[in-house]
Structure 1
Amino acid sequence: MGLDFTVLPKFIDQLLLGSMWTVAITVSAAVLSFFGGIFLAVVVLYAPKLVSLPFRVFSWLFMGTPLLLQLFLIYFGLIELGVDLPAFVAGVIGLGLHFAVYNSDIIQAGIKAVDTGQYEGARTLGLSKLQTLRKVVVPQAVRAVVPPIGNNMIALLKDSALVSVIGVTELTLSSQLAISKTFRPFEFYLAAAACYYVINLGLEAGLRRIERRIQTAR
């Protein structure tokens, strides 16, 4: 018995491929959650109640239910409605929509913090309501809330491990497949943890760079 890390090199390619899939699903879901959050925030704040109500209900449902259940509903449940999504696509949609709801709350707070004079001034200059939101209000709101949205992106990376349950061979599932062949769980889970940590460091470095550029642009 005891630890035996000599089994890792034989599966390094498998772990690296799993890491690549983890990065791919994280980046794809992060983009969806960011722009989805902006869309939800604008609709909830500015659309007529009849239009915004379904989106409010959608947000309430996604905030009140577990992400794992949402992934099951999207991947397995939609099949019964004739929508057969690939596991990767279902994972991106599930993660993206889940975090879009949380990003929406953050962006709404950012929009409300923008001085009303900015909105009124843009309207006075002849910009339409939509142009004012797109060119004046939303960009300022997003710049102000980059740090908390960045925290959500880090949480998204960690929660990307959940897509393993619907068959996406990302880092966690790649580790589990290696464990099934070697029966060395501690070694491979430790290796997976190290890979997640490296990916997380890269993500944090990217977010810090974005924050610095935003601060410089102000």
Structure 2
Amino acid sequence: MIDDIWVDDAVTALRPDFAVLVVCAYGLRNGPSDDRSRQWLADAAAGAVPPDDERIEAWRSAYRAFGAKPQRTRPSVDALVRRLPLPEINLVVDAYNAVSVRHGLPIGGEDLRRYRGTARLVRAAGDEPSEEALGEPAIGEVVWRDDEGVTCRRWNWRQCVRTRITEETADALFLLERLEPLSIPALHAAGEDLAGMLSAIAPDIRIESRLLG
């Protein structure tokens, strides 16, 4: 799975500075939010990047480049830092949301067992199958998708229900997305932070990672 994930050249042409750290975690034991994950969320909120941080502004600029209005459909990390304290979802989602606001980058979390074929980041042709709640992507919009359809619209704005991480998720895909000025070493540091939290949830977890871009 991890070796097959790809980013289309049209996305790279739009933002040559884009990179994504792909992290696959196998053998999760997810569950409801608990005192430990609540502390992760509280600590992350206390150390969260501000909404005017240059790392978040880079994502607003990227949204404008493909025709989206970031004030209406915000990049995921922008939306999270504006709704502090962070909501409790479940152990795994709490972990990656905490990493997102602390490191100032968008992170997507997907249930690998609900994927159909290969994950890829493309610019939409406008005819991609999409859940009704997501709406249809505009031509040229940046979307994550698999063989069944769109899994996340507007790069990292809104995820589909089909691949969402739930308390039953055992194998997961995480997409840690980077634009300058976030450095590649900082991207890897965020990945290590996430891996540590996932290992705290499931000590015998198996983790693989790969950098694209």
Do these two structures clear the TM 0.5 threshold for a shared fold by scoring above it?
no
The higher radius of gyration belongs to 1
Q: Output the TM-score relative to the length of structure 1.
A: 0.29
Higher RCO structure, 1 or 2 (CA under 8 Å, sep 6+): 2
Q: Output the TM-score relative to the length of structure 2.
A: 0.29
